[in-house]
Structure formats: structure tokens, C-alpha cells
Amino acid sequence: MLKAEFESRAGKLREKAEEESDPEQASQLYRRSGSLYRKAAEKTENDEKASALNQLAEQLDREAEKALNRSDHPGQGRSLSYFSSPPDVDFSDVGGMEELKARLRDRVITQLQDTGFREDLGVSPTNGVLLYGPPGTGKTMVSKALAGEIGFHWAEVDTADLVSKYVGESAEQVQDLFREAVRVQPCVIFLDEIDALASPRGSGVKTDSEQQRVNQFLQSLDRIQGDDVLVIAATNLIEEVDSAFRRTGRFDVEIRVGLPDVDARRKILKVHLSGREHRVSGNEIQRLAERTDGFSGSDLEAVVEHAAQEAHIDSIEDDLLQPITYEHLSSAASQLASQDGGDAG
Ligand SMILES: Nc1ncnc2c1ncn2[C@@H]1O[C@H](COP(=O)(O)OP(=O)(O)O)[C@@H](O)[C@H]1O
Ligand SMILES: [Mg+2]
């Protein structure tokens, strides 16, 4: 999002906060407004302007505190059970995956923005995205980064957990999730392992209760159409995702998230090495990226983590900080490849 958009969204939230009578709600609105002003400050090149925006953000944090204290009945305010504040990660924390990020920018982020053209063009914001691909490829991470990027609240929900609540009287709890979403919007609901919703496994025949769960779930999704609530569903098993679910049109953006190519692997390694003491050159990172074909983002994270632990052991032995070296990384990669039956080596 552009700086001006963060600022204008922040301004609107602040106005809403000032009109809000529920202290808990008002406090949240102030906080969200503050966090968007902070984002605007980050995007501002003019130092003076950035510092003014940051001051404004601090003032709004104080307003958020004050609003809570204004509450006559502390404890009666509605607290959040599913959502947390906008994540403090954004696309810059996601290594590589440029095409994926570009598609999310064009198909989702841009279409959610009030650009002044949207209505004339009849563009309705995207409410549903389906991400699929092997585990550890960053589906959760990129979704969270998207929420952080645009300053949306974030809820991460395990689908199996959610559907188990449809059984018996607790369907109410699922409604709560969607109700809370409407209340805290703008927000992202991340539904992990959506294949657990209703699996056509085995006979391919769904039981009545499975069918009922799917229907109830789809009704909940209907409730958020037109709101600033983005549902991102993820799965490692796209072929197990109920076709009726895919046909609803509720998930109009489907994106395959694949294993990282060499360039993405290099960037992912860089992301995970940053902030750690290391003596690994750009050429060495490139070399490691080249020999880790088939590694996922989470495998590469594990390589760096393991290398850091080895450097830690060396440091203790020498009683002197030993930075991470190419050798540490290389042996960690070999170990991981042999464990997983991978093909790096
Ligand atoms: N593109 C990436 N850049 C940086 N780290 C990544 C990337 N992809 C995956 N990771 C690392 O792997 C971990 C697991 O990824 P995750 O998003 O949970 O994968 P998935 O949801 O696809 O199973 C993340 O917490 C992150 O540390
Ligand atoms: Mg995940």
C-alpha cells in the first residue's frame, strides 16, 4: 500500500474510534489507527514527516489506553479470542517468491484498496484466496506477511479444529469467529489445512453430517462477503479439497505455492542469516542455494538454525564468539538432505 493510503485509512479509523461508544472497541480502533500511521511513517522518505507520523501513532496508543480506562465496567468489554493485532512481518520478510507476492499484490491488496476507481469499474474486493502446495513452502508465512503489509488483524485457525466445533451445540463458536471478524475488520482469517473441511477420501461419498458441515461453513463465508474480511485457505492436498467448496466462487483467487527455485533459495537463506553473526559471503550463499535443490523454505530455515547451533557449540569451546561459516551451513545441509532422503549433497 502507498503511504497516502495508510494515512487515509488511519484517519478513517481514528474518526471511527472517536465515535465508538464501546470502550474496548474504541481502544482497538485507536490502536489500529496508530499502527497504520506507523506504517505510513516507515514508507515516508522525509524524516520530519516520518517523525510527525510516529508521534501521531504514539498519541493514538495513549488514546487507546485512555479509552480502556474510560470503561465503567471493566471486564465487560469484549475481548478478542481469535484475532491478534496486525502482524509485524511484511513481504520483505518473505524471501524470493516474487511472482506469488506480485499476484497477491495485484489480485488481492490492490483490489481491497479504496482507489476512487473501484466503484466505477465495478470491482468488488476479493474475500477468498486458496493457496496450495507442499508443506514448508511459506503459505502461512506469506499470508501473515500480507496481513502485516496492509495492517489487517490476523487470525490463524486450524480447519480440523473449526469443523470439530460444528458438531453438536458448539456451532455457535464457529459463528463467533466470523462475528469477531466482522467486528475487528479489516482482518485476515487464515484457515490452515482446509482439506480437513470435508474430505472425499476413500469412497468419495460424503456423509450427511459432513455435507452439513460444509454447508454451514459456506453460510458463514457468505456472511462476510462485502466486508473487509479476507479469508485465506491453505492446503498441502489440493486434490482432497472438496470440489463444491472450490466451485462456490468464494475463493476466486487460487495460487499454487511451489518449492523455491535457486534464486528464491538464496533470498530465503539471506533472510534467515540476517541478524545473526556470520562470515558467509554472497558467493557462498549462492553456492549453498545451488546445492539445495528440493529444499523448502522451512528446510532452509532449519539449515541456518542448525548451523547457528554448531557455531554456538564452537563458541563455547573456544570461549569466543564464532560466527556462522559456510562450513557450518554446508554440513547442516548435508545432514538434512540425508535425513529427508533429499538430493542435495
Ligand atoms: N519464502 C520464505 N522466506 C523466508 N522463510 C520462509 C519462506 N518460506 C518458508 N519459510 C520458513 O519456513 C517456516 C515454515 O513455513 P510455513 O509458512 O509454515 O509453510 P507452509 O504454511 O507452506 O507449510 C516459516 O516460519 C519460515 O521461517
Ligand atoms: Mg503452515
At residue 73, the pLDDT reads 42
Q: How far is the CA of 191 from the centre of ligand 1 (A)?
A: 16
Q: Are residues 96 and 22 in the same domain?
A: no
> For ligand 1, what atom is nearest to the CA of residue 267?
3
Each residue of 172-189: pLDDT tens digit? 777 888 889 999 999 999
We report the CATH number of the domain holding residue 267 as 1.10.8.60
Q: Are residues 234 and 94 in the same domain?
A: yes
Q: Are residues 182 and 250 in the same domain?
A: yes
| Domain closes at, from 28, 56, 78 | 78
The residue segments making up the domain with residue 124 are 80-258
Whose Cα sits closest to atom 12 in ligand 1?
Answer: 298
Q: Among all ligands shown, which has an atom nearest to the Cα of 138?
A: 1
| Domain closes at, from 203, 235, 258 | 258
Dump strand ranges (E) for the chain. Answer: 128-132, 153-158, 187-192, 229-235, 253-256
Q: Are residues 275 and 215 in the same domain?
A: no
Q: Are residues 92 and 229 in the same domain?
A: yes
Task: Please indicate, yes or no, if residue 345 is contained in any of the structural domains.
Answer: no
Task: Please indicate, yes or no, if residue 35 is contained in any of the structural domains.
Answer: yes
We report the CATH number of the domain holding residue 131 as 3.40.50.300
**Residue 95, SS3?**
coil
Q: Which residues pair with 154 in a beta bridge?
A: 84, 188
Q: How far is the CA of 133 from the centre of ligand 1 (A)?
A: 12
Each residue of 31-59: pLDDT tens digit? 999 999 998 898 888 888 899 899 899 88
Whose Cα sits closest to atom 17 in ligand 1?
Answer: 138
C-alpha grid cell, residue 14? 481514528
| Domain closes at, from 78, 99, 121 | 78
Q: How far is the CA of 135 from the centre of ligand 2 (A)?
A: 7
Q: Are residues 141 and 94 in the same domain?
A: yes
At residue 75, the pLDDT reads 39
- Ligand 1 touching residue 141 (CB < 6 A): yes
Task: Please indicate, yes or no, if residue 253 is contained in any of the structural domains.
Answer: yes
Q: Are residues 139 and 244 in the same domain?
A: yes
CB-CB contact of 126 with 223 (8 Å): no
CB-CB contact of 337 with 296 (8 Å): no
Task: Please indicate, yes or no, if residue 143 is contained in any of the structural domains.
Answer: yes
Q: Are residues 46 and 98 in the same domain?
A: no
At residue 318, the pLDDT reads 96
Task: Please indicate, yes or no, if residue 211 is contained in any of the structural domains.
Answer: yes
- What is the Cα–Cα distance from 222 to 153, expressed in whole angstroms? 20
Q: Are residues 137 and 281 in the same domain?
A: no
**Residue 84, SS3?**
strand
Task: Please indicate, yes or no, if residue 170 is contained in any of the structural domains.
Answer: yes
Q: Are residues 137 and 201 in the same domain?
A: yes
- What is the Cα–Cα distance from 64 to 31, expressed in whole angstroms? 6
At residue 76, the pLDDT reads 39
**Residue 230, SS3?**
strand
At residue 199, the pLDDT reads 58
Q: Are residues 148 and 248 in the same domain?
A: yes
- Ligand 1 touching residue 137 (CB < 6 A): yes
The structural domain count of the chain equals 3
Task: Please indicate, yes or no, if residue 164 is contained in any of the structural domains.
Answer: yes
Q: Are residues 120 and 242 in the same domain?
A: yes
C-alpha to C-alpha distances, 122 to 42, 105, 108, 230, nearest whole angstrom? 32, 19, 15, 19
CB-CB contact of 177 with 142 (8 Å): no
Complete edge-to-edge strand list for the sheet that includes strand 253-256: 153-158, 187-192, 229-235, 128-132, 253-256
Which residues in the chain show pLDDT less than 50? 72-77, 201-203, 342-345
At residue 169, the pLDDT reads 55
Q: Among all ligands shown, which has an atom nearest to the Cα of 273?
A: 1
At residue 62, the pLDDT reads 85
Task: Please indicate, yes or no, if residue 56 is contained in any of the structural domains.
Answer: yes
The preferred substitution site among 296, 301, 303 for testing ligand 1, maximizing ligand atoms within 8 Å of CB, is 301
